[in-house]
Structure 1
Amino acid sequence: MTRKLRVGVLGAGIAERHLTGFGWNSGLFEVPVLCSLDADRGQRLCEEHKIPEYTQDAESLFARDDLDIIDIATPPSSHFELCRKAIESGKHVICEKPLFGSIAEVDEMAKILARSNGRKLMPIFQYRYGSGLQKLKLLIERGLAGKPFLTTIETHWWRGPDYYAVPWRGKWATELGGGLLGHAIHAHDMLNYVHGPCAEVFSYGATLVNPIEVEDTASLSVKMKNGSLATLSMTLGSRKEISRLRFCFSNLVAESILEPYTMGRDPWTFIAGTEDHQARVDAALAGYEAKEDGYTRQFELFHRAIVEERDPPVTLQDARNSLELVTAAYHSQRTGRPTPMPITADHSLYGSWLPEEARTSAAGA
């Protein structure tokens, strides 16, 4: 019989999507408690998802011995401390993006996990599990894509004043960054998921759309460690919202749909260089076994990782790769120079990518 894992949920915003993912995996998970400071939203979610207990006391979740997992879906500035407390209380952890506010915190969490007696932390990167992107991974694994040349990624969304009416958004101290960190990070994780880590980035960033502290528009030129190149663009000022990923290999071009928030899903296009190779590509795709996607699939794989004592499907290193790109982009924007990766302890932004005045403000908060 499959073992159900018990989850305590922290948050009532993006947590609603997490609860849907747990609901689709009702044979694998149950959620006995939800914690949120927003009583109206929290109690509504408890009613809608039949969660028996609502609380505003996060510490009570850490103290419980009947929870296997703490699911953290709170504002970014709270993530590290909540993850630390959850791991040290003996729980596994799921945590929304962006995982933490610095590479130093990622490395410190690696040390905490190493002494945690097998506790697992899984960052959220649910876009990986769309069938379109999974088909590309299949073709690469079968050797049908060839040498990677160029990737282009567009994250062109719209966020107006209403979005920033939420008090913690648009501020360095609480959101920790702008569109690079909170919006395009999913698409940029898909770059790392396909090609591995980045080697160097040159970036421009600007605040053009809303009167906020953080960037809402950016362009990045990236060298990948596998030798290929990538160009990434992000804006929260696109009245027509699209996301597009295009991967050029020696034997194949793969291109996503334009749907802004589900760009990993079918129908992607896979165009080979010859008719014979197209036939091989089509034959491989015909054998693709469709799975659930998004949070549903990521949570399903996390259950398997816990029960079978494997690494989680998204690892702390995956989050580090993603946050290294963000850190390097901010460094490049401020210095006007290309920034190499990885980001190590001697880098000026290792401890925080926040601007100096924001670091001072956050420290005094």
Structure 2
Amino acid sequence: MPRTPNAPSTLSSPFAGRRIRAAVVGAGAIGRGSHLPALARLAAEGETEVVAAVDIDAKAVEAFRAEAGIPHAYTDLDRMLAEQRPDLVTVCTPPTLHRDQTLAALRAGAWVWCEKPPVPSLADFDAIEAAEGTDGGPYASIVFQHRFGSAATHVRRLLARGALGRPLVAHCQTTWYRDTAYYAVPWRGRWATEGGGPAMGHGIHQMDLLLDLLGPWSEVRGMAARLVHDVETEDVSTALVRFGNGALATVVNSVLSPDEVSRIRIDCERATVELTHLYGHSNEDWRITPAPGVPAVEAAAWQDFGPDVPSSHLAQLRELIASMRAGERPRSSGPDGRTSLELITALYRSAFTDTTVRAGEIGPGDPYYTALHGGAAGWAPGEREEVPA
């Protein structure tokens, strides 16, 4: 089951009695539409203040600064870090930039909240973890907002205490649709800049939530294909996953599906848990169906998800700020954040080598440790296979 957070640091919090000074790196859609609103909401509650924005496009970052009322705009990250000394840096740039920007922020003493996909490889992730603080931060956390919210918290607790019985069978589905125009953006669909296809850039959210609910995975057998799009990466993948607790799961990630849906289903000994949504969930998107013979009073208690807190950047950021003030490693950072990237890496290795991959097998010296394509013929850049007509 999900790990126990680190105990609070014995050091006094450097953030006590004041707002968290935040900087947004990347003035594009995710920064404008998700990070900034979450920061603004917490600013209204006295928790944060946005002190700077950074983007290589001077006009874009100045417009971003003016619209949001941010005091300072920069085109140079290092200069911003030196002059503003933010407590928290939110990284909203393409994946290929995440490693260097995260490392720069950590070395400047700032905590980091980085959009998914976190980085293009396990080697990059391990380099970031090595640069984190050792007692009370700074730490780097990944945006895995689907873990957060009232319903996910409720179901996680039910599973953790065994109320629903042993998990047996699970299904994890991210079947979305992306057209040719979507892949016209230069960094999409390329190993070097996006890291991977829908397993990495789309299905990572549902796979991360599944892992957060069920705990560690032990082995995976995967398949991947390019069926439609003229890209380097796959546009569909499937996998069979075995968990440490014995549960078996199927995983489907696609950008070829006109009827879009995100879904998780977990069949336990005493109940089935189902989540059906698209890009975010609330209490009403979850359903718990008790097995025959479960007492009605107990089954009714399972349906009490509490006040509705939807999954969102805001829900995760609120918990991250609390972790900063407590000097704790936040969820979705360190080993807790790495497990999803390791599963995705193993899925690709399995698909491209036609083997079963076990947790912990991919490390330094393995070609998949530094690139998700692993140099596989037909998949590595410059070695395109023919796409079936």
Say yes or no: TM over 0.5: yes
Cα deviation 1:211-245 (Å, max 9, x = unaligned): 11111111111111111010001110111111111
Task: Find the counterpart in structure 2 of residue 10 from structure 1.
Answer: 25
Whether 1:103 aligns to 2:103 is: no
Shift of 1:276: 4.1
Task: Find the counterpart in structure 2 of residue 334 from structure 1.
Answer: 352
Q: Distance in 1 between matches of 2:192 and 2:255?
A: 20
Q: Distance in 1 between matches of 2:61 and 2:298?
A: 51
Task: Find the counterpart in structure 2 of residue 36 from structure 1.
Answer: 55
8 Å contact kept, 1:217–1:236: yes
Q: Distance in 2 between matches of 1:277 and 1:45?
A: 55
Task: Find the counterpart in structure 2 of residue 211 from structure 1.
Answer: 230
Unmatched runs of 5 consecutive residues or more in structure 1: none
Shift of 1:278: 4.2
8 Å contact kept, 1:90–1:116: no
The match for 2:314 among 296, 311, 322 is: 296
Whether 1:120 aligns to 2:139 is: yes
Task: Find the counterpart in structure 2 of residue 308 from structure 1.
Answer: 326
- Count how many residue pairs are aligned between Structure 1 and Structure 2: 360
8 Å contact kept, 2:54–2:73: yes
The match for 1:191 among 210, 223, 228 is: 210
Cα distance change on mapping 1:117 and 1:275 into 2, 3 Å:
closer
1:64 alignment partner, SS class: helix
Whether 1:229 aligns to 2:254 is: no
2:241 alignment partner, SS class: strand
Task: Find the counterpart in structure 1 of residue 36 from structure 2.
Answer: 19
Cα distance change on mapping 1:145 and 1:178 into 2, 3 Å:
same
The aligned runs of 1:60-99 (5 Å cut-off) are 60-99=79-118
1:199 alignment partner, SS class: strand
8 Å contact kept, 1:98–1:181: yes
8 Å contact kept, 1:131–1:266: no
Give the letter aligned to residue 337 of structure 2: A
Cα deviation 1:72-114 (Å, max 9, x = unaligned): 1111111111111111111111111111222122222222114
2:284 alignment partner, SS class: coil
**Structure 1 stretch 338-347 or stretch 39-48: which is displaced more?**
39-48
The aligned runs of 1:209-358 (5 Å cut-off) are 209-257=228-276, 259-263=277-281, 266-274=284-292, 276-286=294-304, 288-291=306-309, 293-342=311-360, 343-356=362-375
Identity %: 30
Q: Distance in 2 between matches of 1:265 and 1:48?
A: 33
Q: Distance in 2 between matches of 1:68 and 1:125?
A: 20
1:201 alignment partner, SS class: strand
Task: Find the counterpart in structure 1 of residue 75 from structure 2.
Answer: 56
Cα deviation 1:285-310 (Å, max 9, x = unaligned): 43734446311111111111111111
8 Å contact kept, 1:70–1:93: yes
Q: Distance in 2 between matches of 1:59 and 1:50?
A: 22
2:368 alignment partner, SS class: coil
Task: Find the counterpart in structure 2 of residue 180 from structure 1.
Answer: 199
Cα deviation 1:1-25 (Å, max 9, x = unaligned): 8531011111122112111111221
Task: Find the counterpart in structure 2 of residue 147 from structure 1.
Answer: 166
2:250 alignment partner, SS class: strand
Task: Find the counterpart in structure 1 of residue 11 from structure 2.
Answer: none
Q: Distance in 2 between matches of 1:278 and 1:219?
A: 37
Cα distance change on mapping 1:264 and 1:174 into 2, 3 Å:
farther
Cα deviation 1:180-221 (Å, max 9, x = unaligned): 100000000011101112111111101113111111111111
- Name the Cα RMSD after superposition: 2.2
Q: Distance in 2 between matches of 1:4 and 1:203?
A: 46
Q: Distance in 2 between matches of 1:3 and 1:301?
A: 17
8 Å contact kept, 2:149–2:315: no
Cα distance change on mapping 1:142 and 1:64 into 2, 3 Å:
same
